[in-house]
Amino acid sequence: MGEELHDAVSKLNAYFGGDKAQGSLNQDDVASIGLGRKGRSYLLILLRLNQLAMETIDGSIFYNLRKNDS
């Protein structure tokens, strides 16, 4: 699972680093990133590690990068 999580984080970094993301990921876009069937589990892990924040806007779930205070 560690290698799969590393690959997922790499894909998320590539997504958030691109022009399209603007620091936010819509739940509907999770499959298009290529995270596979465990995509939501990876997002949950990152939420629990305080690397992502989640908010609901007009019934859609968005994941946002947390800003580092360091």
Q: pLDDT for 43-56, tens place per residue?
A: 999 899 998 999 99
Q: What is the pLDDT of residue 63?
A: 92
Phi, psi of 58 (to 5 degrees): 50, 40
8 A C-beta contact, residue 23 and residue 65: yes
Q: pLDDT for 1-45, tens place per residue?
A: 688 888 988 998 888 887 766 778 888 888 888 888 888 888 999
Nearest-angstrom CA–CA distance, 34 and 48: 21
Nearest-angstrom CA–CA distance, 63 and 59: 13
Is the predicted pLDDT of residue 69 greater than 80, yes or no?
A: no
Q: What is the pLDDT of residue 21?
A: 60
Q: What is the pLDDT of residue 20?
A: 66
Is the predicted pLDDT of residue 64 greater than 60, yes or no?
A: yes
